[in-house]
Amino acid sequence: LLRDIPRTDQNLRAGGWRLDDWGTELAGKTVGIIGTGAIGLRVTELFKAFKCRLIGWSRTERSEFAKLGGKYVSKEQVVSEADVVSIHLALNKDTEGIIGERELGLMKPGACLINTARGRVVDRAALTRALQERRIRAALDVFDQEPVPHDDPLVQAGGTVLTPHIAFKTDEALLRRARITVQNIRAFLDGSDSNRIV
């Protein structure tokens, strides 16, 4: 999104060869992490490698986030200061629609929202409006309705990278899940504690 690859890809495929498009680098940008559980912390590690300023908000603050260079701030401060907001929250009654019209309205013009958590964590109508008005950009792997209809206004909005809930789907992730499953079964049969309770 920072390099506007979807648009430049479409331009090239349509026969264009624009050299006047400029993107921005991730290095030095402020990244806001919403939800600093295991996945949020792992994503923080990845952004740290790009030398980003890391701020976050989570209902439970973890010391590991500070060890990675992150600083906890209010949710409003995360969305208003971040160039990139990355969401990593479980969906429950407290988190449904937690990123709504107000939070999206606080985002910087052109900021990027990444949601690989659950679609309903973000207010869909508010997000669609923000995208249609070209106030922000978004990378979405999850939707409130899956599969998302191809003619949905959210899908038709520009400034997006959309994938069909496959962010977790890698060969390596499948092997990790299989190993964890085997370890949990062995732990259960041995009467010991599982390393990961699901």
So what's the pLDDT on residue 141?
96
Per-residue pLDDT of 110-143, as tens digits, reads 999 999 999 999 999 999 999 999 999 999 999 9
Per-residue pLDDT of 26-75, as tens digits, reads 999 999 999 999 999 999 999 999 999 999 999 999 999 999 999 999 99
CB 144 within 8 A of CB 99: no
Question: What residues contact residue 168 under an 8 Å CB cut-off, 6+ apart?
Answer: 116
Q: Would you call 34 helix, strand, or coil by DSSP?
A: strand
Q: Is 165 a catalytic residue?
A: yes
Active-site option among 118, 129, 133, 137: 118
In DSSP terms, which residues pair with 190 in a beta bridge? Answer: none
Q: Is 146 a catalytic residue?
A: yes
Q: Is 59 a catalytic residue?
A: no
CB 127 within 8 A of CB 133: no
Q: Return phi, psi of residue 32, to 5°.
A: -105, 125
Q: Return phi, psi of residue 143, to 5°.
A: -140, 160
